[in-house]
Structure 1
Amino acid sequence: MNEHLATTRAMADATVADAEQESREAAALVAALEERVRDGDDTVTPKEIATARELGHFAKLRADATARKAADAKRTARLAALTELRADIDAYTETTDTDQLIDNIFDALLAYTQHFTAHNERVNQWRTRMAELGVPKIMGPDLVSADDAHLGINGRELYAGRTVYNPVDHKGRLAYHLTELGTAMNIVAAHIGGPREEQALASARERTDRVKASARSGVRTMNGPIV
Protein backbone atom coordinates (compact mmCIF):
# COMPACT_ATOMS: atom_id res chain seq x y z
CA MET A 1 0.00 0.00 0.00
CA ASN A 2 1.10 3.57 -0.68
CA GLU A 3 2.93 4.83 2.42
CA HIS A 4 1.19 8.22 2.45
CA LEU A 5 -2.21 6.55 2.10
CA ALA A 6 -1.46 4.14 4.93
CA THR A 7 -0.28 6.97 7.19
CA THR A 8 -3.32 9.10 6.38
CA ARG A 9 -5.69 6.22 7.10
CA ALA A 10 -3.97 5.42 10.39
CA MET A 11 -4.06 9.07 11.54
CA ALA A 12 -7.69 9.48 10.47
CA ASP A 13 -8.74 6.31 12.30
CA ALA A 14 -6.88 7.43 15.43
CA THR A 15 -8.55 10.87 15.35
CA VAL A 16 -11.99 9.32 14.92
CA ALA A 17 -11.31 6.87 17.73
CA ASP A 18 -10.32 9.73 20.06
CA ALA A 19 -13.42 11.76 19.16
CA GLU A 20 -15.71 8.76 19.63
CA GLN A 21 -14.09 8.01 22.99
CA GLU A 22 -14.70 11.60 24.07
CA SER A 23 -18.33 11.30 22.99
CA ARG A 24 -18.76 8.04 24.89
CA GLU A 25 -17.24 9.56 28.01
CA ALA A 26 -19.60 12.54 27.78
CA ALA A 27 -22.62 10.22 27.37
CA ALA A 28 -21.39 8.12 30.28
CA LEU A 29 -21.20 11.24 32.45
CA VAL A 30 -24.85 12.09 31.71
CA ALA A 31 -25.87 8.52 32.48
CA ALA A 32 -23.91 8.57 35.72
CA LEU A 33 -25.50 11.83 36.83
CA GLU A 34 -28.97 10.54 36.05
CA GLU A 35 -28.27 7.31 37.92
CA ARG A 36 -27.12 9.32 40.97
CA VAL A 37 -30.45 11.14 40.93
CA ARG A 38 -32.28 7.81 40.78
CA ASP A 39 -30.23 6.67 43.74
CA GLY A 40 -31.43 9.70 45.73
CA ASP A 41 -28.38 11.99 45.42
CA ASP A 42 -29.80 15.46 46.09
CA THR A 43 -26.55 17.24 45.18
CA VAL A 44 -27.08 16.69 41.43
CA THR A 45 -28.86 19.68 39.90
CA PRO A 46 -30.96 19.84 36.76
CA LYS A 47 -28.53 22.38 35.36
CA GLU A 48 -25.63 20.00 35.91
CA ILE A 49 -27.44 17.25 34.01
CA ALA A 50 -28.50 19.66 31.26
CA THR A 51 -24.95 20.95 30.94
CA ALA A 52 -23.58 17.41 30.78
CA ARG A 53 -26.22 16.44 28.23
CA GLU A 54 -25.36 19.49 26.08
CA LEU A 55 -21.66 18.68 26.32
CA GLY A 56 -22.40 15.09 25.36
CA HIS A 57 -24.46 16.18 22.38
CA PHE A 58 -21.71 18.56 21.35
CA ALA A 59 -19.11 15.80 21.73
CA LYS A 60 -21.27 13.58 19.51
CA LEU A 61 -21.45 16.33 16.90
CA ARG A 62 -17.67 16.74 17.04
CA ALA A 63 -17.24 13.00 16.67
CA ASP A 64 -19.50 13.03 13.60
CA ALA A 65 -17.57 15.97 12.16
CA THR A 66 -14.27 14.23 12.83
CA ALA A 67 -15.53 11.06 11.12
CA ARG A 68 -16.57 13.05 8.05
CA LYS A 69 -13.21 14.84 7.88
CA ALA A 70 -11.41 11.52 8.28
CA ALA A 71 -13.47 10.00 5.48
CA ASP A 72 -12.66 13.00 3.26
CA ALA A 73 -8.97 12.70 4.10
CA LYS A 74 -9.02 9.00 3.27
CA ARG A 75 -10.77 9.63 -0.05
CA THR A 76 -8.28 12.38 -0.92
CA ALA A 77 -5.30 10.21 -0.02
CA ARG A 78 -6.76 7.25 -1.91
CA LEU A 79 -7.35 9.36 -5.00
CA ALA A 80 -3.77 10.68 -4.78
CA ALA A 81 -2.49 7.09 -4.54
CA LEU A 82 -4.65 6.04 -7.49
CA THR A 83 -3.41 9.01 -9.50
CA GLU A 84 0.17 8.02 -8.72
CA LEU A 85 -0.60 4.45 -9.74
CA ARG A 86 -2.21 5.65 -12.98
CA ALA A 87 0.87 7.74 -13.78
CA ASP A 88 3.06 4.70 -13.13
CA ILE A 89 0.90 2.58 -15.44
CA ASP A 90 0.85 5.22 -18.16
CA ALA A 91 4.62 5.67 -17.94
CA TYR A 92 5.16 1.92 -18.30
CA THR A 93 2.85 1.78 -21.31
CA GLU A 94 4.71 4.66 -22.93
CA THR A 95 8.19 3.21 -22.35
CA THR A 96 7.44 -0.41 -23.26
CA ASP A 97 8.07 -0.80 -26.96
CA THR A 98 6.98 -4.30 -27.91
CA ASP A 99 7.22 -3.36 -31.59
CA GLN A 100 10.96 -2.81 -31.13
CA LEU A 101 11.33 -6.15 -29.39
CA ILE A 102 9.60 -7.88 -32.28
CA ASP A 103 11.80 -6.00 -34.74
CA ASN A 104 14.86 -7.17 -32.80
CA ILE A 105 13.72 -10.78 -33.10
CA PHE A 106 13.10 -10.36 -36.83
CA ASP A 107 16.48 -8.68 -37.34
CA ALA A 108 18.18 -11.52 -35.47
CA LEU A 109 16.46 -14.14 -37.64
CA LEU A 110 17.34 -12.15 -40.74
CA ALA A 111 20.98 -12.01 -39.63
CA TYR A 112 20.83 -15.76 -38.95
CA THR A 113 19.57 -16.42 -42.48
CA GLN A 114 22.05 -14.03 -44.06
CA HIS A 115 24.90 -15.64 -42.13
CA PHE A 116 24.21 -19.11 -43.48
CA THR A 117 23.47 -17.82 -46.96
CA ALA A 118 26.88 -16.11 -47.01
CA HIS A 119 28.49 -19.26 -45.54
CA ASN A 120 27.00 -21.48 -48.24
CA GLU A 121 28.02 -19.09 -50.99
CA ARG A 122 31.58 -19.02 -49.65
CA VAL A 123 31.81 -22.83 -49.41
CA ASN A 124 30.43 -23.22 -52.93
CA GLN A 125 32.93 -20.68 -54.25
CA TRP A 126 35.77 -22.60 -52.57
CA ARG A 127 34.54 -25.86 -54.10
CA THR A 128 34.51 -24.29 -57.55
CA ARG A 129 38.04 -22.93 -57.11
CA MET A 130 39.27 -26.26 -55.76
CA ALA A 131 37.79 -28.08 -58.75
CA GLU A 132 39.35 -25.59 -61.14
CA LEU A 133 42.74 -26.12 -59.47
CA GLY A 134 42.42 -29.88 -59.65
CA VAL A 135 42.05 -30.60 -55.93
CA PRO A 136 41.32 -34.33 -55.73
CA LYS A 137 38.22 -35.99 -54.35
CA ILE A 138 39.12 -37.96 -51.24
CA MET A 139 37.26 -39.96 -48.60
CA GLY A 140 38.22 -37.93 -45.54
CA PRO A 141 40.48 -35.27 -44.06
CA ASP A 142 43.05 -37.93 -43.12
CA LEU A 143 43.88 -38.20 -46.83
CA VAL A 144 44.69 -34.55 -47.58
CA SER A 145 48.10 -34.09 -49.14
CA ALA A 146 50.76 -31.42 -48.86
CA ASP A 147 50.89 -31.45 -52.69
CA ASP A 148 47.37 -30.05 -52.63
CA ALA A 149 48.02 -27.66 -49.74
CA HIS A 150 46.14 -30.12 -47.56
CA LEU A 151 42.89 -29.39 -49.39
CA GLY A 152 40.34 -31.98 -50.47
CA ILE A 153 36.79 -32.49 -51.76
CA ASN A 154 34.32 -35.13 -50.62
CA GLY A 155 30.87 -34.50 -52.06
CA ARG A 156 29.40 -31.55 -50.19
CA GLU A 157 32.31 -31.47 -47.77
CA LEU A 158 35.52 -29.55 -48.27
CA TYR A 159 38.69 -30.24 -46.32
CA ALA A 160 41.30 -27.67 -45.32
CA GLY A 161 43.71 -29.56 -43.12
CA ARG A 162 41.69 -31.06 -40.26
CA THR A 163 38.82 -28.59 -40.72
CA VAL A 164 35.68 -29.69 -42.54
CA TYR A 165 33.45 -27.20 -44.33
CA ASN A 166 30.07 -27.96 -45.80
CA PRO A 167 26.94 -26.02 -46.82
CA VAL A 168 24.18 -25.77 -44.23
CA ASP A 169 20.51 -26.41 -44.94
CA HIS A 170 19.58 -23.33 -42.97
CA LYS A 171 15.98 -23.30 -44.17
CA GLY A 172 15.24 -26.69 -42.65
CA ARG A 173 17.54 -26.06 -39.72
CA LEU A 174 15.89 -22.74 -38.92
CA ALA A 175 12.63 -24.50 -38.12
CA TYR A 176 14.45 -26.91 -35.81
CA HIS A 177 16.36 -24.13 -34.10
CA LEU A 178 13.25 -22.03 -33.61
CA THR A 179 11.42 -25.01 -32.14
CA GLU A 180 14.27 -25.72 -29.73
CA LEU A 181 14.63 -22.07 -28.71
CA GLY A 182 10.86 -21.73 -28.36
CA THR A 183 10.80 -24.77 -26.08
CA ALA A 184 13.65 -23.28 -24.05
CA MET A 185 11.73 -20.04 -23.59
CA ASN A 186 8.55 -21.91 -22.66
CA ILE A 187 10.49 -23.72 -19.94
CA VAL A 188 11.74 -20.41 -18.59
CA ALA A 189 8.33 -18.75 -18.83
CA ALA A 190 6.69 -21.60 -16.91
CA HIS A 191 9.04 -21.28 -13.95
CA ILE A 192 10.34 -17.70 -13.95
CA GLY A 193 9.95 -16.19 -10.51
CA GLY A 194 9.19 -19.59 -8.99
CA PRO A 195 11.14 -22.06 -6.86
CA ARG A 196 12.34 -23.95 -9.95
CA GLU A 197 13.54 -20.88 -11.85
CA GLU A 198 17.23 -21.77 -11.53
CA GLN A 199 16.70 -25.33 -12.80
CA ALA A 200 14.52 -24.04 -15.65
CA LEU A 201 17.21 -21.57 -16.72
CA ALA A 202 19.84 -24.30 -16.63
CA SER A 203 17.66 -26.59 -18.75
CA ALA A 204 16.96 -23.79 -21.22
CA ARG A 205 20.68 -22.99 -21.51
CA GLU A 206 21.47 -26.63 -22.22
CA ARG A 207 18.91 -26.64 -25.02
CA THR A 208 20.33 -23.37 -26.34
CA ASP A 209 23.84 -24.85 -26.30
CA ARG A 210 22.60 -27.75 -28.44
CA VAL A 211 21.21 -25.26 -30.93
CA LYS A 212 24.57 -23.49 -31.00
CA ALA A 213 26.36 -26.78 -31.64
CA SER A 214 23.96 -27.57 -34.46
CA ALA A 215 24.44 -24.12 -35.98
CA ARG A 216 28.23 -24.62 -35.96
CA SER A 217 28.00 -27.82 -37.99
CA GLY A 218 28.94 -25.98 -41.19
CA VAL A 219 32.50 -25.77 -39.85
CA ARG A 220 34.05 -28.44 -37.64
CA THR A 221 37.62 -29.43 -36.83
CA MET A 222 38.64 -33.09 -36.64
CA ASN A 223 41.08 -34.40 -34.06
CA GLY A 224 44.50 -35.57 -35.00
CA PRO A 225 47.58 -34.16 -36.75
CA ILE A 226 47.87 -33.38 -40.43
CA VAL A 227 49.88 -36.08 -42.16
Structure 2
Amino acid sequence: MTTTTAAQPGSETAVEQAEQEATEAEQLLTALEERVREGDDEITPDQLSNARELGRFAKLRADAARRKAERTTAKAAEQERAAHLDQATALAAPGGPLDADALAITYATARAAVRAFITASETYNTTTGQGARLLAAAGVPDSTFGPTPEPGTAARWGTDRFRLADGSTYYPTGTGLRLAVLLDDLNTEFHDIPTGAFHPPFVRTPISDQATRGRDGHPQLHVLAAEQAGGAK
Protein backbone atom coordinates (compact mmCIF):
# COMPACT_ATOMS: atom_id res chain seq x y z
CA MET A 1 0.00 0.00 0.00
CA THR A 2 1.41 3.39 -1.00
CA THR A 3 0.84 6.40 1.21
CA THR A 4 1.07 9.84 -0.35
CA THR A 5 2.01 12.64 1.99
CA ALA A 6 1.14 16.18 0.94
CA ALA A 7 3.94 18.72 0.64
CA GLN A 8 4.40 20.97 3.63
CA PRO A 9 2.74 24.40 3.53
CA GLY A 10 4.96 26.90 1.73
CA SER A 11 7.16 24.31 -0.03
CA GLU A 12 5.04 24.30 -3.19
CA THR A 13 5.02 28.10 -3.23
CA ALA A 14 8.82 28.24 -2.96
CA VAL A 15 9.25 25.78 -5.81
CA GLU A 16 6.78 27.62 -8.00
CA GLN A 17 8.52 30.93 -7.31
CA ALA A 18 11.95 29.51 -8.14
CA GLU A 19 10.64 27.91 -11.33
CA GLN A 20 9.00 31.19 -12.31
CA GLU A 21 12.30 33.04 -11.84
CA ALA A 22 14.08 30.45 -13.98
CA THR A 23 11.45 30.82 -16.70
CA GLU A 24 11.73 34.61 -16.66
CA ALA A 25 15.54 34.43 -16.86
CA GLU A 26 15.30 32.09 -19.85
CA GLN A 27 12.80 34.39 -21.51
CA LEU A 28 15.11 37.35 -20.92
CA LEU A 29 18.05 35.53 -22.55
CA THR A 30 15.88 34.51 -25.49
CA ALA A 31 14.69 38.08 -25.94
CA LEU A 32 18.24 39.48 -25.85
CA GLU A 33 19.46 36.92 -28.38
CA GLU A 34 16.56 37.75 -30.68
CA ARG A 35 17.40 41.45 -30.48
CA VAL A 36 20.97 40.66 -31.54
CA ARG A 37 19.65 38.66 -34.49
CA GLU A 38 17.48 41.64 -35.41
CA GLY A 39 20.59 43.84 -35.53
CA ASP A 40 20.27 45.66 -32.18
CA ASP A 41 23.78 47.05 -31.63
CA GLU A 42 23.03 48.04 -28.03
CA ILE A 43 23.17 44.45 -26.78
CA THR A 44 26.65 43.63 -25.52
CA PRO A 45 28.32 40.26 -24.97
CA ASP A 46 28.38 40.97 -21.27
CA GLN A 47 24.58 41.38 -21.24
CA LEU A 48 24.16 38.02 -22.96
CA SER A 49 26.68 36.41 -20.62
CA ASN A 50 25.00 37.89 -17.57
CA ALA A 51 21.58 36.78 -18.77
CA ARG A 52 22.88 33.30 -19.50
CA GLU A 53 24.47 33.04 -16.05
CA LEU A 54 21.35 34.44 -14.45
CA GLY A 55 19.27 31.79 -16.16
CA ARG A 56 21.64 29.02 -15.11
CA PHE A 57 21.63 30.29 -11.53
CA ALA A 58 17.83 30.51 -11.52
CA LYS A 59 17.59 26.88 -12.71
CA LEU A 60 19.95 25.82 -9.93
CA ARG A 61 17.80 27.62 -7.40
CA ALA A 62 14.70 25.90 -8.81
CA ASP A 63 16.43 22.52 -8.48
CA ALA A 64 17.41 23.40 -4.91
CA ALA A 65 13.85 24.40 -4.05
CA ARG A 66 12.50 21.12 -5.48
CA ARG A 67 15.04 19.04 -3.57
CA LYS A 68 14.28 20.89 -0.35
CA ALA A 69 10.55 20.33 -0.88
CA GLU A 70 11.19 16.63 -1.53
CA ARG A 71 13.27 16.33 1.64
CA THR A 72 10.60 18.14 3.64
CA THR A 73 7.88 15.89 2.22
CA ALA A 74 9.94 12.75 2.89
CA LYS A 75 10.60 13.85 6.47
CA ALA A 76 6.91 14.54 7.02
CA ALA A 77 6.06 11.13 5.56
CA GLU A 78 8.52 9.43 7.90
CA GLN A 79 7.10 11.30 10.88
CA GLU A 80 3.59 10.31 9.85
CA ARG A 81 4.67 6.67 9.46
CA ALA A 82 6.29 6.71 12.90
CA ALA A 83 3.16 8.26 14.39
CA HIS A 84 1.01 5.52 12.86
CA LEU A 85 3.33 2.86 14.27
CA ASP A 86 3.12 4.47 17.70
CA GLN A 87 -0.67 4.61 17.48
CA ALA A 88 -0.85 0.94 16.48
CA THR A 89 1.43 0.03 19.38
CA ALA A 90 -0.71 2.06 21.79
CA LEU A 91 -3.81 0.13 20.70
CA ALA A 92 -2.17 -3.09 21.88
CA ALA A 93 -0.98 -1.65 25.20
CA PRO A 94 -2.31 -3.19 28.45
CA GLY A 95 -5.77 -1.84 29.14
CA GLY A 96 -6.24 -0.78 25.52
CA PRO A 97 -8.88 -2.01 23.07
CA LEU A 98 -6.60 -4.86 21.88
CA ASP A 99 -5.80 -6.13 25.38
CA ALA A 100 -6.82 -9.78 25.06
CA ASP A 101 -6.59 -10.36 28.80
CA ALA A 102 -9.00 -7.50 29.49
CA LEU A 103 -11.39 -8.88 26.87
CA ALA A 104 -11.11 -12.33 28.46
CA ILE A 105 -12.15 -10.82 31.79
CA THR A 106 -15.34 -9.43 30.23
CA TYR A 107 -15.85 -12.84 28.58
CA ALA A 108 -15.64 -14.55 31.97
CA THR A 109 -18.00 -11.97 33.48
CA ALA A 110 -20.51 -12.47 30.68
CA ARG A 111 -20.23 -16.25 31.00
CA ALA A 112 -20.90 -16.05 34.74
CA ALA A 113 -23.88 -13.73 34.15
CA VAL A 114 -25.37 -16.07 31.53
CA ARG A 115 -24.78 -19.05 33.82
CA ALA A 116 -26.62 -17.23 36.60
CA PHE A 117 -29.46 -16.41 34.20
CA ILE A 118 -29.75 -20.04 33.07
CA THR A 119 -29.83 -21.20 36.69
CA ALA A 120 -32.51 -18.62 37.57
CA SER A 121 -34.55 -19.51 34.49
CA GLU A 122 -34.43 -23.24 35.23
CA THR A 123 -35.32 -22.55 38.87
CA TYR A 124 -38.29 -20.48 37.68
CA ASN A 125 -39.44 -23.28 35.38
CA THR A 126 -39.06 -25.94 38.08
CA THR A 127 -40.88 -23.83 40.64
CA THR A 128 -43.93 -23.47 38.40
CA GLY A 129 -44.33 -27.22 38.69
CA GLN A 130 -44.08 -26.99 42.46
CA GLY A 131 -46.78 -24.30 42.48
CA ALA A 132 -49.07 -26.39 40.31
CA ARG A 133 -48.59 -29.42 42.57
CA LEU A 134 -49.37 -27.32 45.64
CA LEU A 135 -52.62 -26.16 44.03
CA ALA A 136 -53.42 -29.76 43.19
CA ALA A 137 -52.81 -30.70 46.83
CA ALA A 138 -55.13 -27.86 47.81
CA GLY A 139 -57.90 -29.43 45.71
CA VAL A 140 -57.76 -27.08 42.70
CA PRO A 141 -58.89 -29.19 39.71
CA ASP A 142 -56.93 -29.61 36.51
CA SER A 143 -58.61 -27.38 33.94
CA THR A 144 -56.55 -28.53 30.95
CA PHE A 145 -59.55 -30.23 29.38
CA GLY A 146 -62.29 -28.83 31.61
CA PRO A 147 -64.21 -25.56 31.70
CA THR A 148 -62.33 -22.28 31.88
CA PRO A 149 -61.81 -21.31 35.55
CA GLU A 150 -63.61 -18.24 36.78
CA PRO A 151 -61.52 -15.07 37.06
CA GLY A 152 -60.45 -14.25 40.60
CA THR A 153 -59.97 -17.89 41.53
CA ALA A 154 -56.88 -20.06 41.64
CA ALA A 155 -56.55 -22.38 38.69
CA ARG A 156 -54.09 -24.85 37.23
CA TRP A 157 -53.49 -26.45 33.85
CA GLY A 158 -51.70 -29.74 34.09
CA THR A 159 -48.70 -30.01 36.35
CA ASP A 160 -46.64 -26.96 35.38
CA ARG A 161 -48.98 -24.02 34.76
CA PHE A 162 -51.19 -22.16 37.17
CA ARG A 163 -52.93 -18.91 38.05
CA LEU A 164 -53.40 -17.40 41.47
CA ALA A 165 -56.55 -15.64 42.59
CA ASP A 166 -54.97 -12.22 42.01
CA GLY A 167 -54.63 -13.06 38.33
CA SER A 168 -50.87 -13.76 38.35
CA THR A 169 -50.11 -16.55 35.87
CA TYR A 170 -47.02 -18.76 35.92
CA TYR A 171 -45.81 -21.24 33.34
CA PRO A 172 -42.39 -22.43 32.14
CA THR A 173 -40.73 -21.18 28.97
CA GLY A 174 -37.70 -22.95 27.54
CA THR A 175 -34.51 -21.39 28.85
CA GLY A 176 -33.05 -21.68 25.36
CA LEU A 177 -35.90 -19.56 24.05
CA ARG A 178 -35.20 -16.91 26.66
CA LEU A 179 -31.54 -16.92 25.65
CA ALA A 180 -32.61 -16.55 22.03
CA VAL A 181 -34.64 -13.45 22.93
CA LEU A 182 -31.68 -12.01 24.81
CA LEU A 183 -29.27 -12.58 21.93
CA ASP A 184 -31.75 -11.36 19.33
CA ASP A 185 -32.28 -8.16 21.34
CA LEU A 186 -28.51 -7.62 21.47
CA ASN A 187 -28.21 -8.42 17.78
CA THR A 188 -30.81 -5.75 17.03
CA GLU A 189 -29.12 -3.26 19.36
CA PHE A 190 -25.76 -3.72 17.64
CA HIS A 191 -27.29 -3.77 14.13
CA ASP A 192 -26.48 -7.39 13.25
CA ILE A 193 -23.57 -8.86 15.18
CA PRO A 194 -21.03 -10.07 12.57
CA THR A 195 -19.79 -13.65 12.61
CA GLY A 196 -16.86 -12.95 10.28
CA ALA A 197 -16.14 -12.04 6.69
CA PHE A 198 -18.15 -13.98 4.11
CA HIS A 199 -20.23 -15.72 6.80
CA PRO A 200 -24.01 -15.45 7.35
CA PRO A 201 -25.26 -13.03 10.03
CA PHE A 202 -25.19 -14.11 13.66
CA VAL A 203 -28.91 -14.82 13.96
CA ARG A 204 -28.94 -16.99 10.81
CA THR A 205 -26.08 -19.31 11.72
CA PRO A 206 -26.35 -22.26 14.15
CA ILE A 207 -24.65 -21.49 17.46
CA SER A 208 -22.70 -24.77 17.32
CA ASP A 209 -21.20 -23.83 13.93
CA GLN A 210 -20.20 -20.39 15.16
CA ALA A 211 -18.70 -21.85 18.35
CA THR A 212 -16.52 -24.22 16.32
CA ARG A 213 -15.07 -21.32 14.35
CA GLY A 214 -14.85 -19.14 17.45
CA ARG A 215 -12.81 -21.64 19.44
CA ASP A 216 -10.17 -21.56 16.72
CA GLY A 217 -10.26 -17.76 16.50
CA HIS A 218 -7.98 -15.17 18.04
CA PRO A 219 -7.83 -14.40 20.82
CA GLN A 220 -9.14 -17.65 22.31
CA LEU A 221 -11.11 -16.00 25.07
CA HIS A 222 -12.42 -19.23 26.56
CA VAL A 223 -8.82 -20.41 27.05
CA LEU A 224 -7.59 -17.07 28.45
CA ALA A 225 -10.56 -16.84 30.80
CA ALA A 226 -9.93 -20.38 32.06
CA GLU A 227 -6.25 -19.60 32.62
CA GLN A 228 -7.13 -16.45 34.57
CA ALA A 229 -9.53 -18.50 36.71
CA GLY A 230 -6.80 -21.02 37.47
CA GLY A 231 -8.03 -23.59 34.97
CA ALA A 232 -11.68 -23.44 36.00
CA LYS A 233 -14.13 -23.88 33.15
The change in CA–CA distance for 1:33 and 1:144 in structure 2 (over 3 A counts) is: closer
Q: 1:34 to 1:80 in 2, by over 3 A?
A: same
> Match for residue 21 of structure 1?
20
Question: For each residue in 1:87-132, what CA deviation from the matched residue of structure 2 results, as whole angstroms up to 9, or x when unmatched?
Answer: 3344345422573565565445334322311212332333344445
Counterpart selection for 1:163 from 168, 174, 178 = 168
User: Match for 2:39: what amino acid?
Assistant: G
| CA distance, structure 2, for counterparts of residue 110 and residue 157 of structure 1 | 25
Counterpart Cα distance in 1 of 2:108 and 2:48: 82
Q: Distance in 2 between matches of 1:63 and 1:40?
A: 33
Q: Which residue of structure 1 aligns with residue 74 of structure 2?
A: 75
- 1: distance between equivalents of 2:112 and 2:19? 68
Residue matched to 1:217: none
Root-mean-square deviation over aligned CA pairs: 3.4
Question: Amino acid of the residue matched to residue 142 of structure 1?
Answer: P
Greater helix proportion? 1
Alignment TM-score, normalising by the size of structure 2: 0.62
CA deviations on 1:123-156 (whole Å, 9 max, x unpaired) are: 2333344445x242242773477xxxx4333212
Give structure 2 stretches of 5+ with no counterpart. 195-202, 204-233
Amino acid at match of 1:159: R
- Cα 1:131–1:69, aligned 2, differ >3 Å: closer, same or farther? same
Aligned position for 1:112: 117
The answer as to whether partners of 2:149 and 2:155 remain within 8 angstroms in 1 is no
User: 1:78-157 residue pairs with structure 2 within 5 A?
Assistant: 78-94=77-93, 95-97=96-98, 99-100=103-104, 102-103=107-108, 106-132=111-137, 134-139=138-143, 142-143=149-150, 150-155=153-158, 156-157=160-161
- SS of the residue corresponding to residue 43 of structure 2 reads coil
**Aligned equivalents of 1:32, 1:24: Cα separation in 2:** 12
What corresponds to 1:34 in structure 2? 33
Structure-2 change in CA distance of 1:86 and 1:56 (3 Å)? same
**Residues 160-169 or 76-85, more deviating:** 76-85
Q: How many residues align?
A: 180
Q: How far apart are residue 63 of structure 1 and its match?
A: 0.7
Gaps of 5+ in 1: 191-203, 205-227
Once residues 31 and 152 of structure 1 are traced to their aligned partners in structure 2, the CA distance between those partners, rounded to angstroms, is 112
Equivalent-residue separation in structure 1 for 2:26 and 2:132 (angstroms): 106
Q: For residue 46 of structure 1, report the CA deviation from its aligned partner.
A: 1.0
CA distance in 2 between partners of 1:21 and 1:189 (Å): 58
Q: How far apart, in 2, do the equivalents of 1:37 and 1:131 lie? A: 127
1:52 is matched by which residue type in structure 2? A
Q: 1:59-105: per-residue Cα shift (whole Å, max 9, x none)? A: 11111011000011111122222333333344345422573565565
Q: Distance in 2 between matches of 1:189 and 1:49?
A: 77
- What is the percent sequence identity of the aligned residues? 27
1:53 alignment partner in structure 2: 52
Confirm or deny: 8 A CA contact 2:125 2:171 kept in the other structure.
Answer: yes
